[in-house]
Amino acid sequence: MSMSALVKVYGLMTVTFFAIDLVWLGIVAKPFYQSYLGPMLRPDVRWGAAILFYLLFIAGILVFAVLPGVERASLRRAVALGAFFGLVAYATFDLTSLALVKGFPDIVAVVDMAWGTVLSASVAAAGYAAARWVGAGS
């Protein structure tokens, strides 16, 4: 895949990721996280850290899910690898938190890992579609 195509695919994946995750965090799951993590949550988001996570995580989905899917011309492969990548990445945080953070709720870990799996699979699918659209998969 050319550098130009990679940049376009990454950009489209970034827009997709932000749109989906910000709806989840800002609307759908906001009451859930507030009820279980209330006192642990910061009153203000540290956007530098959040944006750095997003940019690195999206690059991971591209490298470990989308590119292998494009290589095999397989949406199924991209989605499956994206789901697994999301599960592993979110489990890294959640299971470590369960092990080390006093009072970290089990239900938050379960919901968060499920969300990471679904989100990453969805963004991998969008990335695969974007790669096909920009002609990177042909």
Assigned domain for 138 exists: no
Helices (H) and strands (E) in the chain, counts: 6, 0
CA–CA dist 128, 22 (Å, integer):
21
DSSP 3-state assignment of 68?
helix
Assigned domain for 101 exists: yes
pLDDT over 60 (residue 137): no
Which of 26, 49, 114 minimizes the C-alpha distance to 34?
A: 26
Assigned domain for 36 exists: yes
pLDDT over 60 (residue 78): yes
**What average pLDDT is seen over the chain?**
94
CA–CA dist 125, 14 (Å, integer):
13
Assigned domain for 64 exists: yes
- pLDDT of 25 reads 86
Confidence class of residue 2 from pLDDT cuts 50, 70 and 90? confident
Q: 92-110 pLDDT, tens per residue?
A: 999 999 999 999 999 999 9
What pTM was estimated for this model as a whole?
Answer: 0.91
Tally of domains in the chain: 1
Confidence class of residue 136 from pLDDT cuts 50, 70 and 90? low
- pLDDT of 24 reads 92
122-138 average pLDDT score: 88
Q: 32-65 pLDDT, tens per residue?
A: 999 999 888 888 989 999 999 999 999 999 999 9
Query: How many other CB atoms are found less than 10 A from the CB of residue 102?
Result: 5
List the domain range (segments joined by +) for residue 69: 3-133
Confidence class of residue 90 from pLDDT cuts 50, 70 and 90? very high
Assigned domain for 10 exists: yes
The number of residues in the chain equals: 138
